[in-house]
Structure 1
Amino acid sequence: MEKRVYWLKSSVVRSDELLEGIIESATDAIIAIDEEHKIILFNPAAEKIFGYQVEEALGKDLSILLPEKVASKHFSFIKEFLKTGDSPVIGKVLEGVARRKNGEDFPIEISRSATKIDDHWIFTAIVRDVTQEKEMERRLLESEKLAAVGIAASRIVHDIKNPLIAIGGFVFSLLKKESSEEKRQKLELILREIKCLEKLLSDISEFAKPLKLEIKEADLTTVCQEAIEIYRPRLEEEGIEIELIAPEKPVKVFLDEARLKEVLFNMFQNALEAMSATGNGKLTVEIVPREQTVQIIIRDTGPGIPEHVLKQLFTPFFTTKKKGTGLGLSISHKIIEAHGGKIKARNYEHGAEFTIELPYRPG
């Protein structure tokens, strides 16, 4: 059978130069492995996407680029292909998960191919990092979901607020006239519960309405310092120490000071509640300037956040507190995103850590 030729032979460009140029200039990662699962090709785009230099990757097992579960499945797929000469993933574009050198897992689109050279199989993958696309999808779905929640929330507030005000007024009137201590206690209990409901309605209303930011240039260190001084007495009452770690030079950021303080107060309150069980602890607020953004890292020495809670932490109305509304962190998330920033949470060895990342100027 005559061998087909897929490029025009030329005296100017040799086939090996053509292939090398394509591999080096490709924007997607091109990675090839041998039958032993060892990396034998790692192009510049792969270096950029995965964080390894070519010298670090060549000759290594492909598992350095994959989470543990994915690596074991991939190795099984190679063994099965070598036995049968067939695989359901060859020739298809599929979604998957890969791992960077720094340990971060990220979403990918991958297409695989296999070719036999000198009686040995070579497996090639073209890998595209789809982190940004997935983040855009997530934000779009979240904005649609939040818009629907906002409409429902507005109606709830409208339908409940007026009757609740009337009930509160009647209870307060009865409380002034009642002489029986037992009945007074019951009325005071009703009044406290009404105030809790009013707080819930206030949070729902805040969550539902569009954010209007008053952006101006401010020194982030000063903003954090002011928030800390306002909250310090409440923390010290519980035996909790608070420390600010900041650069010596001012960190100028365009932001809404009042809104950012609202987020910080929410973070401080959560940390306070997490550490109050032990009666002491330390809260650290660190400002870390970066090239394009600045981070505010808030760490506590509490028990940390359970994994199942971490996944839903910023979901509206999700709470583990007996009297929480489940909107504090959702509103904080909304405020930071309105600044063009990000907020995320994780556990570290001594407790929980929240990272707020802000651009120096909202886009």
Structure 2
Amino acid sequence: MSSHQKRELIRALVIDDNVDLAENIREILEELGVEALLAHDAASALEIAARVVGAIDLAFVDLKLPGGGSGVELLPRLRALSAEIEVIIVTGNATLDSAVQAVRHGIFAYVQKPFDARDFIAIAERVVAQIRLRKERERLARELERSEELHRSLVEMVDAAILLIDREGTILFANPFAEERSPHPHGLIGESFIETFIEECLRTRVRRALSELRPYERSEGVESHARVGDQLRTLRWSVSRGGSGSDERYLAVGIDLTEMRALQMRALEAEALAAIGTLTSGLAHEIRNPLNAAALQLELIVRSARRVEEGSLRDRIEERVEIVRTELARLSSMLNDFLSLSRPAALSLEEKDLRDIIESVEALQRPLLEAEGIELRVDLPETPVRARIDETKIKQALINLVQNALEAIRAKGGGVIEIRAKARSDGAVELAVADDGPGFGAASGDLLRPFMTTKEGGTGLGLAIVRTIVERHGGELRLFANSPRGAVAQFTIDRRA
């Protein structure tokens, strides 16, 4: 007898007004490991069955009970209290009619008195064995249900995409993690695993690898990119084959490497910026001195040119001086950008209404944009949008984004730039600069990295500086397409930063 069976208690109720017979039946049952309770009539039997903790599993019922009651008539009331109860009718007044009624009520056995002791014990052993078997099945079913629930929870909670696919690659099951990375708004079930998650250049290789998998063998991992909304996710997939024939199924597990790759890239960027910071800091003094001296010499040249009598010569000199002055200013600006990115100053946080900062940026940028034929729109809520920020840094970030939008749409000879802000319900504020220019293109994520630019002559530092400012405020900068055309640079800041 197993430890589980020992713990599974079986309770029996012996209902008979013959005390000696009832005691004998109890002794037999206790020898079989059954707890037996005695009742002498229907009323006491129902009282015991209702009072006992747990169901009564077995009842020995005398067909003729005191008070004129019938054991067969008692059966429905016992089953109302213990649905799975097994019943053995014991009677010294057997009739065909009573036997038929008892069988209709689903009794286990119909025993006539006087009975052979060995036959009776054999019946008792069979019914107890049947009850133990039922209880074992119920226990196994409960354990299976708990096990399934545990595995279901693991599959649903694990930070990996888990798919069950058939031999054609059709997705039969997808856990929530996989569904969250699905490009299909209606879900993954019924979609092609390869078409959904494997980029085109790798599909032939993956199909061949799956066709060559043996039962219970796992494929080598393959990294692939899949677009989810406006994000490009990187997942590393490995596929295991389950069986063959009708049981041929494949388990595909995808580890999302997007955040890890981003962290690795940020670490490399940090190392590069640290090296640049060391270099820039050392050269800043050496560079600024010649720049200042050159600017001073230009001013002297301008003053000397004003004394030149020939107007055309004077104009040519001033024109060339202005070109050199513009280039010197650009070099100085680049140097400041390098220093700002590699050695950012500590933030000076104060609670501010972001509407005031945006209006300040609007006043500063509107004349410049109007001179280029570009309309500037500002969309602000009527209520304050407050957050703890470094006002100078946030203003710098917004100006950088407006300048970036200006450079993007300048070539088409006009357009619209919009600055907007709002407070979100999750405790963050959201700011965005949108334009109707050509957009960022497919490599929008790369543009946040230092020195990445799509503009001729650009340094690739503008958006990187904005990202650094936003992240130091505990926020996130995102780039995505505007509708119907153009680009949006949007960032969030925690109000309590």
When normalised by structure 2's length, the TM-score is 0.60
- How far apart are residue 119 of structure 1 and its match? 4.3
**Contact kept in structure 2, 1:299 and 1:354, CA below 8 Å:** yes
Task: Give the Cα–Cα distance (whole angstroms) in 2 for the partners of residues 138 and 209 of structure 1.
Answer: 19
Alignment of 1:264-275 (within 5 A): 264-275=398-409
The aligned residue for residue 31 of structure 1 is 163
Q: Secondary structure at the match of 1:108?
A: strand
- What stretches of structure 2 of length at least 5 have no aligned partner? 1-136
State the identity %: 29
Q: Number of aligned residue pairs: give it.
A: 348
Distance 1:44 1:347, change over 3 A: closer
Distance 1:86 1:105, change over 3 A: farther
**Contact kept in structure 1, 2:230 and 2:480, CA below 8 Å:** no
- How far apart are residue 313 of structure 1 and its match? 2.9
Task: Give the Cα–Cα distance (whole angstroms) in 2 for the partners of residues 322 and 29 of structure 1.
Answer: 41
- Structure 1 or 2, whichever has the larger Rg, is 2
Q: Deviations over 1:126-180 (max 9, x none)?
A: 2333333233222222211211121122223222221332333344335434544
Task: Give the Cα–Cα distance (whole angstroms) in 1 for the partners of residues 451 and 386 of structure 2.
Answer: 34
Task: Give the Cα–Cα distance (whole angstroms) in 2 for the partners of residues 193 and 99 of structure 1.
Answer: 41
The aligned residue for residue 360 of structure 1 is 495
Q: Secondary structure at the match of 1:221?
A: helix
Task: Give the Cα–Cα distance (whole angstroms) in 2 for the partners of residues 199 and 338 of structure 1.
Answer: 22
Q: Is 1:141 matched with 2:141? A: no
Output the aligned Cα RMSD: 3.6
- How far apart are residue 122 of structure 1 and its match? 0.8
Q: Secondary structure at the match of 2:218?
A: coil
The aligned residue for residue 286 of structure 2 is 159
- How far apart are residue 120 of structure 1 and its match? 3.9
Task: Give the Cα–Cα distance (whole angstroms) in 1 for the partners of residues 461 and 445 of structure 2.
Answer: 15
Q: Deviations over 1:326-350 (max 9, x none)?
A: 4333322221121122223334442
- How far apart are residue 322 of structure 1 and its match? 6.0
Q: Is 1:41 matched with 2:173? A: yes
Task: Give the Cα–Cα distance (whole angstroms) in 2 for the partners of residues 128 and 317 of structure 1.
Answer: 30
Larger CA deviation: 27-36 vs 326-335: 326-335
The aligned residue for residue 256 of structure 2 is 129
When normalised by structure 1's length, the TM-score is 0.79
Alignment of 1:226-241 (within 5 A): 226-241=360-375
Distance 1:335 1:13, change over 3 A: same
Which amino acid is the alignment partner of residue 389 of structure 2? Answer: L
Distance 1:176 1:105, change over 3 A: closer
Distance 1:245 1:96, change over 3 A: same
Q: Is 1:304 matched with 2:439? A: yes
Q: Deviations over 1:237-259 (max 9, x none)?
A: 33322222344433322211221
Task: Give the Cα–Cα distance (whole angstroms) in 2 for the partners of residues 46 and 316 of structure 1.
Answer: 32
**Contact kept in structure 2, 1:211 and 1:338, CA below 8 Å:** no
Structure number with greater CO (CA < 8 Å, separation at least 6) is 1
Task: Give the Cα–Cα distance (whole angstroms) in 2 for the partners of residues 358 and 209 of structure 1.
Answer: 21
Which amino acid is the alignment partner of residue 80 of structure 1? Answer: S
The aligned residue for residue 238 of structure 2 is 111
Larger CA deviation: 310-319 vs 128-137: 310-319
